[in-house]
Amino acid sequence: MDPEAAKTARESLELAFHMSNLLDTGLDRHTLSVLIALCDLCLNPEALAAVVKELRREPASSSLLNSSAPVAKP
């Protein structure tokens, strides 16, 4: 990726992250980046949202998607 494209990608992610925070989604930057990449691969955004919601309902596995959930340590 050329430097200009990388800069644009970073700026886009920052804007999306800011919007995510305003909407109080609870998504961290990395998770949001993965979700955006999946949308870029033509995955259905509504299906991704449903998966995120479902994973948040599950107590143990939701710690990766919910920044306020405690992370289990080995």
Round to whole Å and give the CA distance between 6 and 19: 20
* pLDDT-based confidence at residue 58 (cuts at 50, 70, 90): confident
pLDDT in tens, 5-56: 999 999 999 999 999 999 999 999 999 999 999 999 999 999 999 999 999 8
pTM for the full model? 0.71
The pLDDT, as a whole number, for residue 59 is 73
DSSP3 helix / strand / coil % (the chain, rounded to 5): 65, 0, 35
